[in-house]
Structure formats: C-alpha cells, structure tokens
Structure 1
Amino acid sequence: MENQVKIETEKKEKVKGVFDAKPTAAFISASWASLLIGMVSFCVGLWNATMDLNEKGYYFTILLFGLFSVISVQKTVRDRLEGIPVTDIYYGVSWFVTIVSILLLVIGLWNANLALSEKGFYGISFFLSLFAAIAVQKNTRDIKFLEQKES
C-alpha cells in the first residue's frame, strides 16, 4: 500500500513539472482564432448552402457534438495524467462519441449531393474546429492549474 502511495506521489510530482509553463499569448490567441475561424466558417458555409434545413441542422448538430466530445476527451486524458480519478466507462464513452461524431460527418458528406470542394470545406473546417477546441481547453486548463498553484 505504501508503495502505491509513493508511486502516485512521484507521478504527481512529474506531472507538476510538465504543466509549469504558461501557454504563450501567441498560442492562446492562435487557438482561439482557429476555433472561431473553424466554427464561423462551418456555420457560414451551412447558412449559404442550398441544402434543406434538416440537412443544415444535421451538420450543425454534428459540429456541436464533435466539439463537446473532443473537450471531454481532452479533459479525461488530462485528468488521468494528473492522477485525478476518471472511470473507464467515461473515458471510453468520451473516445467513442468523438469517433462517432467524425464518422457521422464522413458518412453525411459521403452521401451528400455536394461538390467535392464543398465536402472538403466542411471537413477541413470541422477538423480545424475540433483541433482548436482541444487547444483552447488545454490552454484554459494550464492557466487554471498555474493560477491555483500560485495561490
């Protein structure tokens, strides 16, 4: 039992060193800009699309679903790294819904009557948004971690 506590303490000490550097203002700005550009581009594309309203709703819902799921994955991965308990079920569900959101977009675009350039546009803006959401969540968590450490 003592050995397990010692291992957990050593793990937490290693993690503390990893997150001691505050993200730069440039990286924070680039992350937020990428998130906004990706989301706004995707939504403007939907607004201007000639598809039915139910199709627009499908793609918009997938965007929201994907954003939420990648934030959840980032949180669970980081929690585990920091030694915060995360159930295997929640961890698995987070990854599962992320994969499902991507598959739903791919299936929707594969079967859509859109030009290949439009399909590429939606795919790129979707993945830009997902990546940026992960970066924004990471930055937010790093800053909060350092603020708590300083106080």
Structure 2
Amino acid sequence: MKAKHSGPSGAFIGASWLALFIGTLTYSIGLWNATMALNEKGYYFTLLLYGLFAAISLQKSVRDKLEDIPVTGLYFGICWISIAAALLLLAAGLWNATLTSSEKGFYAMSYLLSLFASVAVQKNVRDLALFKPEFAETETTDLSAFK
C-alpha cells in the first residue's frame, strides 16, 4: 500500500518555528547583554543575519537541484562558500574573543540552532506550498512558481 504524503505535521512546523525563535532570540539577548564593544555586537549580529540567509539559500538550492529545477553552478557554489564563510567567521570571532568558554559555547550553540531551524522552516514553507489543495488538483509538474 502506497503511503499518502500530506506535508509536514503541525508539530514539526511548530517545533521548527519555535527553534528559530529561541535560537535567534537567545543569541540576540546574549549580544544585547554582552559587555563587548558596539562594533563587536554588530559583527556578531551581522554574522547571524548572513548565516541565516546563507543557510536558507543553500537549502533552497539543494532542494531545487533535487527537483530538477535549474540552479547555476555559480550560485550553488556561492551558497556553499557563504555558509562556510559565516561559520568560519563566527569561529574566528569566538576564538579571538575575550569571552569565557561558557559564553563562547552559548553563542556557538544558539547560532547553530538558528541556522538549523531556518533550514527546517524553509523546508516546511516549501512543503506546505506543494501540498496545498490547488497544487494537488493539477496534473502539471510546472514548478516555476517556486523559483
């Protein structure tokens, strides 16, 4: 018997959004309360925004390739470089920061939680669009609306 796919469950959608909210909020609160200079706070906040964008963009590009939606090699490469750069810049910043080990761990873990959750949220958004009734009724495989 063939299993019927109905998209992501409400629990997974909620958990993904909650993880994204918790990760970004705790990272931001940590920066707000930190005793570092304002330019350092700006550096770490910019890394969060850059990392979130890079993770979402990479997830979308990988998914597009799996679904035979054209993705240029240049853009795909830039996505990988961007996520690697965001992680390396965070690691270098934390390595050289005058923070305690527990603070460094806090920033690293809340950052990684945020990136993972952003990928899960993006996946859910895309899956929900695919499983809407108006898409299920059509027999076309035109996915140009998802580009």
TM-score (norm: length of structure 1) = 0.86
Q: Which runs of 5+ in 1 are unaligned?
A: 1-16
User: Helix, strand or coil for the counterpart of 1:85?
Assistant: coil
Distance 2:5 2:87 in 1: 33
Task: Name the structure 2 match of 1:27.
Answer: 12
**Percent of aligned pairs with the same residue?**
56
| 1:37 and 2:26 correspond | no
Task: Name the structure 1 match of 2:102.
Answer: 117
User: Helix, strand or coil for the counterpart of 1:50?
Assistant: coil
Runs of 4+ aligned residues of structure 1 deviating over 6 Å after TM superposition are none
How do 1:78-117 residues align onto structure 2 when only pairs under 5 Å count? 78-117=63-102
Distance 2:136 2:64 in 1: 20
| 1:150 and 2:132 correspond | no
Distance 2:64 2:77 in 1: 14
* Equivalent position amino acid for 2:118 in 1: A
**Partner deviation per Cα, 1:111-142 (whole Å, 9 max, x = no partner):** 00000000000000000000000000000000
Distance 2:92 2:6 in 1: 40
How do 1:44-55 residues align onto structure 2 when only pairs under 5 Å count? 44-55=29-40
**1:146 Cα deviation (Å)?**
1.3
Task: Name the structure 1 match of 2:144.
Answer: none
Distance 1:28 1:54 in 2: 35
TM-score (norm: length of structure 2) = 0.88
User: Helix, strand or coil for the counterpart of 2:43?
Assistant: helix
User: Helix, strand or coil for the counterpart of 2:95?
Assistant: helix
Distance 2:5 2:64 in 1: 16
**1:150 Cα deviation (Å)?**
2.3
More helix by share: 1
**1:83 Cα deviation (Å)?**
0.7
Q: 1:138 aligns with which of 97, 111, 123?
A: 123
Question: Pairwise CA RMSD of aligned residues?
Answer: 1.7
Distance 2:25 2:9 in 1: 24
**Partner deviation per Cα, 1:47-93 (whole Å, 9 max, x = no partner):** 00000000000000000000000000000000011110000110010
